[in-house]
C-alpha cells in the first residue's frame, strides 16, 4: 500500500509538488475551520444531504467556479509556455496533459455544472413549482458529478493526468498512452455522466409535469424552454458517451478490441461515437446560455422577448440538427466527398435557426430603454462576439475550406468565441442576474463591470490574434515553435489578453466576498423588476417551499402581468394550506463515495477496491429501494410556520 502511494504521488515536478502542498494545506485549513467554528453538522444537514433545488444549485455553481479556476490556471500555463518561441517552461508531455485537462474540465466540469446549477436555482421557481420532480435524485446527480470531477482532478497529483486531448482519440488513447491518466479520464467522466443523465430526466419530468396552473408550454419562460430542450439532448446524447467510454475502458483494462489497431479494432469508431455525443454536447451547453441571455435581455430591455414562438421553434430545430453534424469534426479523416457534403450542408443549416435567435435578441433591444446592468453588459457583449464565433463556424463548416483551417489556431479561436462568448458570458450573466435570488443581495455593480471589462476585452485580445495565427499556419496542440515561424508577436498579444481574463476572474470572485460584506440586502423578492415567476417569491431568498401559494399564470411574462393587475385591484386575503416537502437524505452522498471508490479501483486496476465500490453502490441502491417510502414521505410545513415566514417579511416591506 505504501509503495503504491509512493510510486504514484508525483513529487519530481516542482509545480505539481507545489500543488500537492497547497492542496494539503487547503484541506487542513478547511477541516480546521469547520471544526473550530463547529460547522460540521451544519454542513451535513444544511448542504450535503439537502434536497432543496436552490441549495443544490448553489453547490453546483461553487464547484463550477473552482473548476473554472483549475481550468483557467491550465490555460494560463499554456499561454505562458507559448508566449515566446523555444520556451522550456513546460515539457512536451506536461503540455499535453495540461491541454487535455483544460478542455475536459472546462466543458464537463465547469460549463455544464455552472449551467445545471443555474437551472436548479431558477427553473423550478420559473414554473411555480416547490422543487424538482425527484429531489433525492437531484442530490445524487450533484454528488456523482462532484466525485466524478474529484476523481478526474486528482490525476495530476496522483499517477499522472490524461494526455490524449479532451477528444481522447484512439489509437493514441488506447495503445499510445500507458499509465493511469486515460483511465482517470474514462472513469471520472463516466461517474459524473451518471449525474448529468439523471439531471436531464429530472428536468424533463419537472418541466412537463409540475408547471403552475395556467402555464401552458407556450407560456414558459425562455430559460425553462432551453432547459427542457437541453434535457432531451442530454437524455439521448449522454448514453452514447456512456457506452463509448465503457468500450474504451474495456479496451484498456480487459483487452477487448473496439478501438485498437490490432485484431479488427476500428479507431475511427471512437471518433464517430465521441462526436455523436460531442456535437450535441456543444448544444447542451450553448442552449441554456441562449436561455439566460433571453431572460436577461427581456428584463433589462423592459420588453417581452421578441419572436417568442420563433425562438422556441429554432431551439427545437437546433436540437434536431445537433445530432446530424458530427462528421464535420473530422472532414479530413478520410470521409468521401459525398459524405462530407451532406455534413457540410447540415452544419451550415444550423446557422439559420441560430441567426433567427440573434435577430430576435436585436429586435427585443430595438427601441427599448436598456438598463446597463452588469448582467446586461455580458448579454450585449455576447451578441457581436458570438456572431464572430458563428460566422467562423460556417467557414469551418465548408468541407473543402476546412482542409485549410483544420487543426490550426483558427479552429481554437472559433470554438473559444462560441464557448466563451456564448457559454461563459452566459454563466457570468446568469450568476449576476440570479445572485440576489441565491444570496439575498446583489453583486456590487461597480466591481462587476470592472470584471466585465477586463474579461471581455482580455478575451478578444487573447483570441482574435489566434484567428490570424491560424491563417499563418500555427497548428494546435504544439508545445513550442521556432522564431523563424513568425508567430511570436501575435502569441505575446494573446498571452496579454489571457492575463486580462485572469484578472477579470479574480475581480469576479473578490466581488463575491465584497458583496457579502458590503452590499445592501434586498427587501423584496423582485430585485430587478423582473418578468418571470422566480421574482414573485415574497422574500429575497425564497423559503424552502418557494411559494406559500402556487401562483396562477395568465400569459408569457407571468409575474409582469401579476404586477400590472395588482396595481389595479388591491389584495384579497390569502389562505395558506400545509405544504408537503421531501426529507433530506444521506444515501446519495454515500453512494457517490462508493462510485468514487469503484472508479479509483478501476483506474489503478485494484480489483478488490473496484468490487468493494461496486457492491457498495448496489447496496446503497437496494437500501434506497427499501427506504424510498420513508424518504419520499417527507414532512408538512404547518400553516403557522408559513404565516410566520410570510408575515415577517410583510412587516419589513
Q: Does 453 bind another protein (CB under 8 A)?
A: no
Cell of 105: 474540465
Residues in a beta bridge with 636:
580
Residue 635's φ and ψ, nearest 5 degrees, are -150, 170
- Cα–Cα dist 75/412, whole Å: 12
Q: Binding residue for another protein (CB under 8 A) from 13, 167, 256, 304?
A: 256
CA 553, CA 212: separation in Å to the nearest integer?
7
Q: Whole-angstrom Cα distance, residue 445 to residue 442?
A: 8
Note whether 235 binds another protein by CB under 8 A.
yes
- 257 or 561: CB nearest another protein: 257
Q: Applying CB under 8 A, which part among 397-405, 464-472, 557-565, 622-630 lies near another protein?
A: 622-630
Q: Can residue 244 be called a binding residue for another protein (CB under 8 A)?
A: yes
- Does 320 participate in binding another protein (rule CB under 8 A)? no
Q: Residue 206: enclosing H or E segment and its boundaries?
A: helix 181-209
**Which parts of 139-198 interact with another protein (CB under 8 A)?**
197
Which own/partner pairs from 343-349 qualify as long-range (CB within 8 Å, at least 24 positions apart)? 343/399, 344/397, 344/398, 344/399, 346/321, 347/393, 347/394, 347/397, 348/394, 348/397, 348/398, 349/321
Of positions 247, 325, 527, 558, contacts another protein by CB under 8 A: 247
From residue 481, give the alpha-carbon distance in Å to each of 86, 92, 463, 471.
Answer: 6, 12, 18, 16
Min dist. Cβ of residue 644 to another protein (A): 23
Q: Which of 8, 242, 304, 480 binds another protein (CB under 8 A)?
A: 242
Assess 204 for contact with another protein (CB under 8 A). Answer: yes
Among the listed residues 29, 176, 214, 239, the single contact to another protein using CB under 8 A: 239
* Nearer Cβ to another protein (134/142): 134
What is the Cα–Cα distance from 364 to 356, expressed in whole angstroms? Answer: 12
Write down the least CB distance from residue 605 to another protein, Å.
15
Work out the number of other CB atoms within 10 angstroms of the CB of residue 257: 14
By the rule CB under 8 A, 257 interacts with another protein: yes
Nearer to another protein, 226 or 260 (CB): 260
Q: Name the segment binding another protein (CB under 8 A); options: 18-26, 155-163, 265-273, 569-577.
A: 265-273
- Binding residue for another protein, selected from 12, 263, 572, 575, defined by CB under 8 A: 263
Three cell numbers written together for 408: 490550426
CB of 567 to another protein, least distance (A): 35
Beta bridge partners of 160: none
Q: Which CB atom, from 257 or from 563, has the smaller least distance to another protein?
A: 257
Instruction: In angstroms, give the least distance from the CB of 331 to another protein.
Output: 20
213 near another protein, judged by CB under 8 A:
no
By CB under 8 A, name the one of 88, 178, 213, 255 that touches another protein. Answer: 255
Distance (Å) of CA 574 to CA 128, 558, 580, 642: 17, 19, 18, 12
Residue whose cell numbers read 499535453? 96
In the complex, minimum distance from the CB of residue 100 to another protein, in angstroms, rounded to a whole number: 24
Question: CB of residue 202 vs another protein: minimum separation in angstroms?
Answer: 7
Task: Pinpoint the alpha helices (H) of 569-638.
Answer: 587-603, 607-633
Beta strand 579-581 pairing with 635-637: antiparallel
What DSSP string runs through 518-584?
Answer: HSPBPSSS-TT--SSGGGGSSSSSPPTTS-SS-----SSSHHHHHHHHHHHSPPPPP----EEEPPP
Does 547 engage in binding with another protein (CB under 8 A)? Answer: no
Exposed, middle or buried by CB within 10 Å (0-12, 13-18, 19+), for 56?
buried
Residue among 99, 166, 238, 481 that touches another protein (CB under 8 A): 238
Q: 12-20 — which CB contacts under 8 Å span 24+ positions?
A: 13/94, 16/156, 16/157, 19/156, 19/157, 20/157
**Least Å from the CB of residue 652 to another protein:** 31
Pick the stretch among 215-223, 261-269, 286-294, 414-422 that binds another protein (CB under 8 A). 261-269
Report the residue from 269, 324, 447, 509 that binds another protein according to the rule CB under 8 A.
269
How many residues form the binding site for another protein (CB under 8 A)?
47
Report in angstroms how near the CB of residue 634 gets to another protein at its nearest.
Answer: 7
Largest CA-CA distance found in the chain, in angstroms, rounded: 79
Nearest to 121 by CA among 291, 303, 376: 291
Residues 566 to 605 in contact with another protein, rule: CB under 8 A: 580, 582
Q: Which residues bind another protein (CB under 8 A)?
A: 133-134, 197, 200-202, 204-205, 208-210, 235-240, 242-244, 246-247, 250, 254-258, 260, 263-266, 269, 273, 276, 580, 582, 618, 622, 625-626, 628-629, 632-634
Amino acid at each position: 500500500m505504501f509503495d503504491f502511494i509512493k510510486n504514484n504521488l508525483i513529487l519530481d515536478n516542482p509545480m505539481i509538488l507545489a500543488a500537492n502542498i497547497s492542496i494539503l494545506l487547503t484541506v487542513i485549513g478547511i477541516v480546521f475551520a469547520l471544526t473550530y467554528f463547529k460547522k460540521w453538522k451544519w454542513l451535513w444537514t444544511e448542504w450535503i444531504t439537502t434536497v432543496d433545488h436552490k441549495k443544490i444549485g448553489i453547490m453546483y455553481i461553487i464547484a463550477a467556479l473552482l473548476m473554472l479556476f483549475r481550468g483557467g490556471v491550465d490555460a494560463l500555463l499554456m499561454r505562458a509556455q507559448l508566449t515566446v518561441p523555444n520556451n522550456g517552461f513546460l515539457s512536451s508531455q506536461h503540455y499535453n496533459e495540461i491541454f487535455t485537462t483544460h478542455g475536459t474540465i472546462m466543458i464537463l466540469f465547469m460549463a455544464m455544472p455552472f449551467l445545471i446549477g443555474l437551472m436548479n436555482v431558477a427553473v423550478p421557481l420559473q414554473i411555480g413549482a416547490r422543487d424538482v420532480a425527484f429531489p433525492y435524485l437531484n442530490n445524487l446527480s450533484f454528488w456523482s458529478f462532484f466525485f466524478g470531477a474529484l476523481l478526474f482532478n486528482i490525476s495530476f497529483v496522483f499517477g499522472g493526468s490524461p494526455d490524449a486531448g479532451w477528444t481522447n482519440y484512439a489509437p493514441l488513447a488506447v495503445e499510445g498512452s500507458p499509465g493511469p491518466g486515460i483511465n482517470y479520464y474514462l472513469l471520472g467522466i463516466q461517474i459524473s455522466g451518471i449525474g448529468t443523465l439523471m439531471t436531464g430526466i429530472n428536468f424533463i419530468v419537472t418541466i412537463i409535469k409540475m408547471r403552475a396552473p395556467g402555464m401552458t408550454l407556450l407560456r414558459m419562460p425562455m430559460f425553462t424552454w432551453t432547459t427542457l430542450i437541453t434535457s432531451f439532448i442530454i437524455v439521448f446524447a449522454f448514453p452514447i458517451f456512456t457506452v463509448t467510454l465503457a468500450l474504451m475502458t474495456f479496451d484498456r483494462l480487459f483487452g477487448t478490441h473496439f478501438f485498437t489497431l490490432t485484431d479488427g479494432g476500428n479507431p475511427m469508431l471512437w471518433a464517430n461515437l465521441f462526436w455523436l455525443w460531442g456535437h450535441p454536447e456543444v448544444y447542451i451547453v450553448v442552449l441554456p446560455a441562449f436561455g439566460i441571455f433571453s431572460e436577461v435581455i427581456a428584463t433589462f430591455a423592459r420588453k417581452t422577448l421578441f419572436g417568442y414562438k420563433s425562438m422556441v421553434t429554432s431551439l427545437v430545430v437546433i436540437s434536431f440538427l445537433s445530432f446530424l453534424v458530427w462528421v464535420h469534426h473530422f472532414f479530413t479523416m478520410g470521409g468521401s466527398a459525398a459524405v462530407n457534403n451532406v455534413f457540410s450542408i447540415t452544419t451550415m443549416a444550423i446557422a439559420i435557426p441560430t441567426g433567427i435567435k440573434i435577430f430576435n435578441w436585436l429586435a427585443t433591444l430595438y427601441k427599448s430603454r436598456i438598463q446597463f446592468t452588469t448582467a446586461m453588459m455580458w448579454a450585449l457583449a455576447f451578441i457581436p462576439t458570438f456572431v464572430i464565433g458563428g460566422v467562423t463556424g460556417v467557414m469551418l463548416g465548408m468541407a473543402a475550406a476546412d482542409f485549410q483551417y483544420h487543426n490550426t489556431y483558427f479552429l481554437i479561436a472559433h470554438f473559444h468565441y462560441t464557448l466563451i462568448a456564448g457559454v461563459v458570458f452566459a454563466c457570468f450573466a446568469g450568476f449576476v442576474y440570479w445572485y440576489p435570488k441565491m444570496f439575498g443581495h446583489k453583486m456590487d455593480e461597480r466591481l462587476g463591470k470592472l470584471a466585465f471589462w477586463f474579461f471581455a476585452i482580455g478575451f478578444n485580445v487573447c483570441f482574435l490574434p489566434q484567428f490570424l495565427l491560424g491563417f499563418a499556419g500555427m497548428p494546435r496542440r504544439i508545445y513550442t515553435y521556432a522564431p523563424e515561424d513568425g508567430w511570436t508577436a501575435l502569441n505575446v498579444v494573446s498571452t496579454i489578453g489571457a492575463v486580462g481574463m485572469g484578472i477579470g476572474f479574480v475581480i469576479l470572485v473578490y466581488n463575491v466576498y465584497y458583496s457579502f460584506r458590503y452590499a445592501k440586502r434586498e427587501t423584496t423578492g423582485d430585485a430587478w423588476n423582473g418578468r418571470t415567476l422566480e421574482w414573485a417569491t415574497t422574500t429575497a431568498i425564497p423559503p424552502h417551499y418557494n411559494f406559500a401559494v402556487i401562483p396562477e399564470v395568465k400569459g408569457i411574462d407571468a409575474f409582469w402581468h401579476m404586477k400590472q393587475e395588482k396595481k389595479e385591484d388591491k389584495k384579497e386575503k390569502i389562505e395558506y394550506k400545509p405544504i408537503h416537502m421531501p426529507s433530506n437524505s444521506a444515501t446519495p452522498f454515500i453512494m457517490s463515495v462508493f462510485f468514487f471508490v469503484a472508479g479509483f479501483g478501476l483506474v489503478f486496476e485494484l480489483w478488490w477496491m473496484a468490487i468493494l465500490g461496486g457492491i457498495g453502490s448496489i447496496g446503497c441502491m437496494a437500501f434506497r429501494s427499501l427506504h424510498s417510502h420513508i424518504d419520499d414521505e417527507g414532512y408538512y410545513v404547518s400553516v403557522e410556520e408559513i404565516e410566520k415566514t410570510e408575515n415577517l417579511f410583510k412587516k419589513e416591506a
